[in-house]
Amino acid sequence: MKPLEELEEGLPRHARLMGVDLGTKTIGLALSDVSRSIASPLETIKRTKFTADAERLIALAKQHDAAALVFGLPLNMDGTEGPRCQSTRAFVRNLEKLTGLPVVFWDERMSTQAVTRTLLDADASRARRAELVDKMAASYILQGALDRLRRL
């Protein structure tokens, strides 16, 4: 796993990045444009077993020519790492054995809450929020990383 600052060094110039919001029940995915300016929600994967989840994630990364993965790291509000961070890091360690894509972590604190607030403001129904929140959270995470990369 590389620091975000080193990510762009080995990437092709017009390569997309894929954002990943790893939850216990779902995996939200987002994709950047080729200029790495804008993140857009892509898909929500219902979690089953690691192998099936990883295969679907890798297949989508290949299908959309993603050159790297940006995983949301669910830090505690005080910045410490708890069990969810350990679970995310374990998933990524196992995923890295299956793919040659570089992986970086991005602080995802408050991403789901921010997206949920936006959906509530848009008067989205509970069912619609449930359908959208994970892939929108992945987009929120990826957009934060893209914004940071532009400032480097």
pLDDT tens digits, 118-149: 766 777 677 766 666 788 889 989 998 998 88
Whether residue 146 lies inside any domain: the answer is: yes
Q: Which domain holds residue 51?
A: 14-151
Whether residue 5 lies inside any domain: the answer is: no
- Please tell me the predicted confidence (pLDDT) of residue 78: 85
Provide the whole-model pTM.
Answer: 0.86
Say how many domains are in the chain: 1
Whether residue 7 lies inside any domain: the answer is: no
- Please tell me the predicted confidence (pLDDT) of residue 80: 84
Mean pLDDT of 72-99: 90
Label residue 55 by pLDDT band (50, 70, 90). very high
Whether residue 6 lies inside any domain: the answer is: no
Whether residue 77 lies inside any domain: the answer is: yes
Q: CB of 67 within 8 A of CB of 17?
A: yes
Whether residue 122 lies inside any domain: the answer is: yes
Q: Look up the CATH number of the domain holding residue 39.
A: 3.30.420.140
Long-range contacts of the stretch 44-49 (C-beta < 8 A, 24+): 44/131, 44/134, 44/135, 47/23
Token duo for residue 141:
């995470």
Label residue 152 by pLDDT band (50, 70, 90). low
Whether residue 28 lies inside any domain: the answer is: yes
Whether residue 4 lies inside any domain: the answer is: no
pLDDT tens digits, 90-120: 999 999 999 989 999 988 866 666 666 776 6
Label residue 68 by pLDDT band (50, 70, 90). very high
CB atoms within 10 A of CB 13: 9
